[in-house]
C-alpha cells in the first residue's frame, strides 16, 4: 500500500510551519544559552571588586615596584618567561578598570580616585624602571624592548579583546582568576612602561614616546572594552540628589566617554592604515625586487616608514652591486601608479659605480696589506718556535750524551768518585773560546802519578766524544 502526501493540504502546511518555528526557536534558545552571561553577573560584587583594586598605596605599591623590577630584568635579559612572570603579579589593571567603571556608571568619586592612582601607578613604574636601567651596567637593546616601541593594529586588538575578557571575568559571580591572569599577560601594560624607563635612561626620547604610546593605546582600549561591557550589562548609574550636580557630572562623564570612543576609533583607523600600508609596501618590494640578483637582500634590508601619512621607503645596497639609474626610474614609476603606495617617497642609498669600484679596490688593498702583516707575524712566530725546538733538541741530545758518558766512565775508571762536565766561555781579551771543563775526584788509593795519567786519559776520551780540543781537567780535593 502506497502512502501519498498532499503538500497542498492546509493542515500539513500548518504542521510544517509549526515544526520549523519550533526548530528555529530551539536553535535560538541554544545559542542564547551558550553566549548569554546575564545570569552569571553579580553587579554589586563586581563594583566592589574593581573599587578595591584601584588603590596604589602601601602593599600594592611595593608589589608594583617589585613586578616592574622583575620585568625590567626580563626585558634586559631578553627573557619572555621572566616578563610573563612579572606580569602575573602586577597590580596595574586595577586603576584602569576603575576608569572604565566610573565612566560607565557616572561615578565621579571613583573617576577622581582612578585618575590619581593611574598617575601614581605610571610614575612608580617608569621611575623604578628608570632607576634600574640607570644603575645596571648591562644595557643592551634587546628584541623584547624594541617590540614595545612601535604599536600596530595587533596591539589594538590584543588590548580591546583582552579588556573584554577581563571585565567579563570580573562580572562573574565567582571571578575567573585564570582569565584575569591571561589578560594580564595579553594586554602587556607593564613592558611598555619598563621600556619607557629604559629609553629615558638612555636619553632616547623618540623610542620612549613610542613605548608610552603603546601603553596609552592598551589602557584606552581596556577602558573602552570595560565601558561598553558595563553599559551592555546595564550597570546602575550613580544618582545624585542635586539635579544640577547630576546633570553636570553626567555631562562630564558623557564628554569623557565620547572623547575616548572617538579617539579610540580615530587611533584604530590610523594604526589600521599604517598596518595596511606596511603590508602593501612589503608586497611591492617582494614582487619588484625579486628579479634583481641581490633582490632578497635588498628587500630584507629595505626600511619602510609610514610617518603619519607621509610614507617613504629607503633601499640601501650596503656595498652590494649598485642599482642602475634605469631600474631606479622604473621602480619609482611603478610605485607612483600603485594606488596604495602612490604617495610614497622612494629613496636609494648607494655608491655610484665608479665610486664603488674605487672603494672596493681600496678595500681589497687594505685587506691584502693586513694579510701581509699577519703572514709576517706568523712567520716570525714560527721561526721563534723552531729556535726553541732546536734548543730543546740540543739540550736533549746533550743530556743523553752525558748519561752515556757517565755509564762508560764508571766502567772504565772504577776509582772515580765524582764526575762533572760543563761548558764555560773564556777570553784573554784577544780571542774568546768555549772550553769543556771536566771536574773529577779520585779515590784516595790512587797516587799522584796515576792521577796525572788518568786525567790525561779522561781528557783524550772526552775530546773524542765532544770532538773538541779545548778540554780542561779540574781535579777536586
Nearest to 302 by CA among 334, 348, 353: 348
Question: 123 falls in which pLDDT band (50, 70, 90)?
Answer: very high
For 437-473, the DSSP string reads EEEEEE-TTS-HHHHHHHHHHHHHHHHHHHT-S-EEE
Q: Tell me the average pLDDT across 84-92.
A: 78
For the chain, what is the radius of gyration of the CA atoms? 45
pLDDT band at 356 (very low <50, low <70, confident <90, very high): very low
The answer to which of 57-66, 184-193, 216-225, 268-277 has the lowest mean pLDDT is 184-193
Cβ-count burial of 106 within 10 angstroms (0-12 exposed, 13-18 middle, 19+ buried)? buried
Q: Using pLDDT thresholds of 50, 70 and 90, give the confidence band for residue 7.
A: very low
- What local confidence, expressed as pLDDT, does residue 212 receive? 84
Q: What is the pLDDT of residue 116?
A: 92
| DSSP three-state, residue 253 | helix
Rounded Cα gap, residues 58 and 67, in angstroms: 15
* Residue 221: count of CB within 10 angstroms of its CB: 25
Which residue in 115, 119, 122 sits closest to 100, CA to CA?
Answer: 115
Q: Which residues pair with 309 in a beta bridge?
A: none
Question: Do the strands 432-442 and 416-427 form a parallel or antiparallel pair, or are they unpaired?
Answer: antiparallel
Average pLDDT over residues 386-411: 71
Interatomic CA distance for residues 422 and 46, integer angstroms: 101
Give residue-wise pLDDT tens across range 286-343. 877 777 777 777 777 788 887 777 888 888 776 667 777 777 888 888 888 888 887 8
Q: Which of 329, 241, 225, 341 minimizes the C-alpha distance to 281?
A: 341
The string of DSSP codes covering 19-30 is HHHHHHHHHHHH
Per CATH, is 43-238 categorized as 1.10.10?
Answer: no
Cα–Cα distance, 273 to 152 (Å, whole number) = 10
More confident residue, 84 or 34: 84
Domain boundaries, the chain: 43-238, 278-353, 354-403, 413-475
What is the C-alpha to C-alpha distance for residues 390 and 377, in angstroms, rounded to an integer? 20
Please provide residue 310's backbone torsions phi and psi, each rounded to the nearest 5 degrees: -120, 70
pLDDT at 196 over 80: yes
The pLDDT score that the predictor gives to residue 1 is: 47
Please name the residue that has the C-alpha cell 611591492. Answer: 284
DSSP state of 62: H
217 or 128: which leads in pLDDT: 128
Q: Can you tell me the mean pLDDT for 402-422?
A: 79
pLDDT band at 79 (very low <50, low <70, confident <90, very high): confident
CB under 8 A, 24+ apart: contacts of 203-206: none
> Are 245 and 182 contacting, i.e. CB atoms less than 8 angstroms apart?
no
Q: Are 131 and 189 in contact (CB under 8 A)?
A: no
What's the confidence (pLDDT) of residue 292? 73
Alpha helices (H) in 317-425, listed in sequence order: 325-337, 353-412
What does the angle CA 30 – CA 34 – CA 36 come to, to the nearest 5 degrees?
Answer: 105
Please state at what angle helix 93-105 crosses helix 43-52, rounded to 10 degrees. 130
Report the greatest alpha carbon distance in the chain. 159
Question: Is the backbone of residue 172 left (phi > 0), alpha (psi -120 to 50) or beta?
Answer: beta
Average pLDDT of the residues in 127-140: 81
Poorest-pLDDT segment among 252-261, 358-367, 374-383 = 358-367
> What is the average pLDDT score of the chain?
75
Work out the average pLDDT over 392-404.
65
SS3 159: helix
Identify the pLDDT of residue 20: 62
Q: Angle of helix 108-135 relative to helix 59-76, nearest 10 degrees?
A: 40
Q: What is the model's pLDDT at position 372?
A: 59
| C-alpha 281: how far from chain center | 26
DSSP state of 372: H
| pLDDT at residue 127, as a whole number | 92
Task: Decide if 64 contacts 125 (C-beta within 8 A).
Answer: yes
Residue 14's pLDDT is 62
pLDDT of residue 21: 66
| Least reliable range by pLDDT among 30-34, 345-349, 353-357 | 353-357
> Across residues 66-71, what is the average pLDDT?
87
Amino acid at each position: 500500500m502506497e502512502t501519498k502526501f498532499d503538500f497542498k493540504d492546509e493542515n500539513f502546511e500548518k504542521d510544517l510551519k509549526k515544526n520549523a518555528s519550533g526548530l528555529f526557536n530551539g536553535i535560538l534558545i541554544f545559542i542564547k544559552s551558550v553566549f548569554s552571561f546575564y545570569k552569571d553577573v553579580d553587579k554589586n560584587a563586581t563594583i566592589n571588586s574593581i573599587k578595591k583594586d584601584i588603590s596604589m598605596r602601601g602593599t600594592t605599591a611595593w608589589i608594583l615596584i617589585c613586578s616592574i623590577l622583575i620585568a625590567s630584568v626580563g626585558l634586559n635579559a631578553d627573557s619572555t618567561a621572566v616578563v610573563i612572570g612579572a606580569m602575573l603579579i602586577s597590580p596595574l589593571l586595577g586603576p584602569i578598570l576603575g576608569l572604565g567603571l566610573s565612566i560607565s556608571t557616572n561615578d565621579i568619586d571613583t573617576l577622581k580616585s582612578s585618575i590619581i592612582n593611574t598617575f601614581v601607578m605610571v610614575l612608580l613604574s617608569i621611575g623604578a624602571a628608570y632607576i634600574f636601567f640607570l644603575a645596571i651596567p648591562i644595557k643592551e637593546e634587546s628584541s623584547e624592548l624594541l617590540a614595545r616601541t612601535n604599536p600596530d593594529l595587533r596591539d589594538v586588538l590584543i588590548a580591546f579583546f583582552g579588556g573584554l575578557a577581563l571585565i567579563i571575568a570580573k562580572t562573574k559571580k565567582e571571578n575567573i582568576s585564570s582569565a584575569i591572569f591571561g589578560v594580564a599577560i595579553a594586554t602587556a601594560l607593564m613592558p611598555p612602561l619598563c621600556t619607557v624607563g629604559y629609553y629615558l635612561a638612555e636619553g632616547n626620547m623618540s623610542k620612549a614616546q613610542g613605548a608610552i604610546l603603546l601603553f596609552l593605546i592598551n589602557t584606552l582600549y581596556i577602558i573602552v572594552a570595560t565601558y561598553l561591557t558595563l553599559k551592555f550589562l546595564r550597570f546602575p548609574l550613580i544618582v545624585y540628589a542635586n539635579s544640577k550636580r547630576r546633570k553636570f557630572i553626567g555631562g562630564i562623564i558623557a564628554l569623557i566617554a565620547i572623547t575616548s570612543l572617538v579617539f579610540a576609533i580615530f587611533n584604530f583607523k590610523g594604526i589600521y592604515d599604517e598596518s595596511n600600508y606596511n603590508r602593501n609596501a612589503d608586497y611591492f618590494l617582494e614582487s619588484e625586487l625579486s628579479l634583481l640578483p641581490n633582490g632578497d637582500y635588498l628587500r630584507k634590508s629595505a626600511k619602510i616608514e609610514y610617518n603619519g601619512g607621509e610614507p617613504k621607503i629607503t633601499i640601501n645596497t650596503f656595498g652590494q652591486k649598485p642599482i642602475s639609474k634605469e631600474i631606479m626610474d622604473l621602480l619609482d614609476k611603478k610605485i607612483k601608479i600603485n594606488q596604495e603606495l602612490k604617495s610614497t617617497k622612494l629613496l636609494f642609498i648607494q655608491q655610484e659605480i665608479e665610486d664603488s669600484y674605487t672603494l672596493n679596490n681600496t678595500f681589497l688593498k687594505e685587506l691584502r696589506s693586513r694579510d701581509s702583516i699577519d703572514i709576517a707575524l706568523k712567520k716570525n712566530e714560527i721561526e721563534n718556535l723552531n729556535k726553541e725546538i732546536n734548543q730543546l733538541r740540543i739540550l736533549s741530545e746533550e743530556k743523553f750524551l752525558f748519561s752515556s758518558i757517565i755509564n762508560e766512565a764508571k766502567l772504565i775508571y772504577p776509582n772515580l768518585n765524582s764526575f762533572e762536565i760543563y761548558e764555560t766561555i773564556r777570553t784573554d781579551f784577544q780571542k774568546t773560546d768555549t772550553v769543556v771543563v771536566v771536574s773529577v775526584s779520585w779515590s784516595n788509593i790512587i797516587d799522584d802519578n796515576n792521577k796525572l795519567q788518568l786525567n790525561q786519559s779522561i781528557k783524550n776520551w772526552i775530546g773524542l766524544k765532544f770532538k773538541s780540543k779545548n778540554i780542561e781537567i779540574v781535579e777536586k780535593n
